């Protein structure tokens, strides 16, 4: 998937809290926080609007289960193993 650069204005506190999550190792970089946040918001809206198919819901449940089980790597962990998104 091709990436596109965007500029976003954020409150300073939100930026500081985001950078803190990166420094603590929860995310590999600020871009990862933005991508993950947008994915979650889009899914939440689709769920709320009833736009997800049964297969979408099954996949979402599987991903949640695998992530909770530690079977899904973050971008930071992938980079440690020489993998790219």
pLDDT-based confidence at 85, cuts 50/70/90? Answer: low
How would residue 15 be classed by pLDDT, with cut points 50, 70 and 90?
very high
Q: What single DSSP character describes residue 78?
A: H
Give, to the nearest 10 degrees, the angle between helix 30-49 and helix 12-23. 110
For 64-79, what is each residue's pLDDT tens digit? 898 888 888 777 777 7
Q: Using pLDDT thresholds of 50, 70 and 90, give the confidence band for residue 23.
A: very high
What region, left, alpha or beta, does residue 50 occupy, with left being phi > 0 and alpha being psi -120 to 50 degrees? left
Alpha carbon distances (Å) from 54 to 11, 16, 17, 50, 57: 37, 38, 36, 10, 5
């Amino acid at each position: 998937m091709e990436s596109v650069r965007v500029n976003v204005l954020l409150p300073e506190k939100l930026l500081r809290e985001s950078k803190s999550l990166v420094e603590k190792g929860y995310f590999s970089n600020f871009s990862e926080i933005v991508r993950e946040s947008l994915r979650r918001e889009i899914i939440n809206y689709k769920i709320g609007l009833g736009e997800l198919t049964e297969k979408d819901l099954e996949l979402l449940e599987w991903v949640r289960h695998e992530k909770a089980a530690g079977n899904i790597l973050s971008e930071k962990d992938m980079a440690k193993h020489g993998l790219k998104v």
